[in-house]
Amino acid sequence: MHDSFLKVIGRMLAVVPQSTAAKNVPATDAMTPREIWLVLIGLMSGMFLSSLDQTVVGTAMRTISDDLNGLSLQAWVTTAYLITSTVITPIAGKLSDIYGRRPIYMASILIFLIGSILSGFAWSMPTLAVFRAIQGIGGGGLMSLAFTIIADMVAPRERAKYQGFFIAVFGSSSVLGPLVGGFFAGANQILWIDGWRWVFLVNIPIGAIALYMVWRFLHVPQIKHNVKIDWIGVVTVILAVVPLLLVAEQGREWGWLSWNSIMMYTLGILGIVGFIVAEARMGDAALIPLSLFKSTTFTQITVLGILVGFAMFGAMMTIPLFLQLVVGSTPTESGIQMLPMVLGIMMATAIGGRVISKTGRYKALPVFGTGLLVVAFVWLVQINKDSDLWFLMIGMLIVGSGLGLMMQTLTIASQNAVEPRQVGVATAGATFFRQIGGTLGTAVLFSVLFGKIPEALKDIFSRSDTQAQIGAALNDPAIINDPANAGIIEMFTNSSSNPESLADSLSGNTSFLNGAADVLKAPFVEGFALSAQSVYFVALVISIIAFVLSWFVKAEPLRDKSGHQEAAEAAAAAH
């Protein structure tokens, strides 16, 4: 039944005509630079759509969560997207093997746009999380298939040059995203619609352009494989991932050893065992074939990707919050202040691409990349409420440089470590596990962040100097009569300085801090800064583990032929 349904969908998507040029390109021939560039235009259009959305949403998240009353739930908005994009990644790879890369890539854009429209009209944080999950289904296909198609077209040694353009797209969207997100977050209404809702609605014209570009230029010769969808693998991977994410997010409220948590642990473990058994039975048709892990390099790179994803997403999600809540930046300002991280990513990616292309070696890049992450988090763990902006920006530059050396290197290494016929599923698998790390990192580090706030506020409000300063401020007529202080004064009055109540306020709607007197909001700023230190300490530990592992990665020589050439030659030899 599932296979029949997929065949119908495949036929519907396949009605989009392939160009004559695409049909007549022999699979054994290397593509010309012009053909590669035309395909790149289509791929980069889709990549720009997905990456711009993530940076725009990240910048506007505080405004969104304040309006929907749920700052502490913002992890779910991010995690929901990551869960679905993670699960769909290997499925999209399998579907593209059956029906071709182009129709599945176009379907991914359409699903992403549907999720964007729904997100633009969300009425609560839970509904926004659900609609972002729909977006993630499309986003997962866009991100994984882009790198798979490049692997089809270009040999590993030359691949770094072309993948560098993807990173450039990521960098440019990271520059534009904060500006666009800040503009929409700062606008009260645009065309009678809340400004922040345009964070999602702006995807409509961009998506339409991307869809046309892909339809017009993405014509890649496709060697289709007779494979089946591993539905048991899909179900078991969901059972493995979702419960563990639930306990990571809710464990602080439930209690880490409560019955709810124990139930989630049990379901997660059963899901992992079931997934392994299902994949072993499916063989090469598995969602993620276990034969991939026969390669020591692929296994090492996969573990490294999980660790780097954990640290990367945690840092990228908490730094904008720190800038807005502690430094006092507006959403637009925080976006601009994130540029050092983007600059670091782009410079390091360009350097790494040149090294790989000229030498055919990549062994040193993961070592230097993870080493820079260690240095970055050693730097960031020292931040406090009085840290200068330049201090934080240096940390962001180092984080970006480390990530830039790692991102394309991990993808190329995983593709090069397996047989040509497995390049597609290896790319999807590597992306899947890196996103697993990112999803867990987001959930765990946000849990650490908001779990630490009550303890930090309790310590701060128990100090005599804090009590004296707040008491004096609440008796100062100038402060009491300032309308900007009304929200925070009401907060103190209603909570009676109860740290738990104050912590709940900080994790819900932080708009009461906007424009408030420094003396009144100082305890909250200090509490958030101390909690952020805990996040960066956890990221530091993960980065140290990744750094140690990177020394033991077995780097195999990079091949000189593209995936299409090798697959076609293997097929010809078989006949």
Q: Which residues are registered as beta bridge partners of 189?
A: 194
pLDDT at 174: 66
- Confidence check: pLDDT of 147 > 70: yes
Angle between helices 499-506 and 518-550 (to 10 degrees): 70
Q: Are 296 and 429 members of one domain?
A: yes
Nearest CA to 373 out of 340, 396, 389 is that of 396
pLDDT-derived band at 312, boundaries 50, 70, 90:
confident
pLDDT at 241: 78
Nearest CA to 312 out of 74, 131, 82 is that of 82
| Cα separation, 292 vs 303, whole angstroms | 13
Q: Are 396 and 450 members of one domain?
A: yes
Residues in the chain, overall count: 575
List pLDDT tens digits, range 451-465: 788 788 888 888 888
Nearest CA to 494 out of 472, 519, 512, 517 is that of 512
Q: Are 107 and 21 members of one domain?
A: yes
- Confidence check: pLDDT of 29 > 70: no
Q: Are 291 and 392 members of one domain?
A: yes
249: containing domain:
231-286
List pLDDT tens digits, range 495-520: 554 555 565 555 555 666 777 777 88
pLDDT at 367: 92
Burial, 172: exposed, middle or buried (Cβ in 10 Å; 0-12, 13-18, 19+)? middle
Q: Are 223 and 238 members of one domain?
A: no
pLDDT at 561: 58
Q: Are 421 and 487 members of one domain?
A: no
DSSP output for 364-394: HHHHHHHHHHHHHHHHHTT--TT--HHHHHH
- Confidence check: pLDDT of 22 > 90: no
pLDDT-derived band at 524, boundaries 50, 70, 90:
confident
pLDDT at 146: 80
pLDDT at 345: 84
- Confidence check: pLDDT of 23 > 50: no
List pLDDT tens digits, range 420-441: 767 777 877 887 888 778 777 8
Of 4-18, 337-351, 479-493, which one has max mean pLDDT?
A: 337-351
pLDDT at 409: 83
pLDDT at 286: 78
**Which of 265, 286, 307 is where one domain is finished?**
286
Average pLDDT, the chain: 78
pLDDT at 6: 40
pLDDT at 1: 44
CATH code: domain of residue 65? 1.20.1250.20
**Which of 286, 309, 327 is where one domain is finished?**
286
The separation between CA 456 and the C-alpha centre of its own chain, rounded to angstroms, equals: 28
Q: Are 256 and 368 members of one domain?
A: no
**Which of 286, 315, 350 is where one domain is finished?**
286
| Cα separation, 337 vs 339, whole angstroms | 5
List pLDDT tens digits, range 202-246: 888 888 888 887 787 777 666 555 666 778 888 888 888 778 777
Q: Are 159 and 69 members of one domain?
A: yes
Q: Are 247 and 223 members of one domain?
A: no
Q: What mean pLDDT comes out for the span 480-498?
A: 71
pLDDT at 510: 66
Nearest CA to 71 out of 450, 460, 444 is that of 450
Number of domains in the chain: 3
Q: Are 362 and 422 members of one domain?
A: yes
pLDDT at 270: 92
List pLDDT tens digits, range 158-193: 776 676 677 767 767 766 777 777 777 777 777 777
- Confidence check: pLDDT of 392 > 60: yes
Q: Are 273 and 398 members of one domain?
A: no
pLDDT at 572: 59
pLDDT-derived band at 374, boundaries 50, 70, 90:
very high
Using CA atoms, how far residue 39 sits from 98, 121, 351, in Å, is: 20, 34, 24
Q: Are 480 and 504 members of one domain?
A: yes
pLDDT at 115: 93
| Cα separation, 518 vs 521, whole angstroms | 5
- Confidence check: pLDDT of 10 > 60: no
pLDDT at 562: 56
Lowest average pLDDT, out of 28-32, 108-112, 227-231, 321-325, goes to 28-32
Q: What percent of the chain has pLDDT over 70?
A: 80
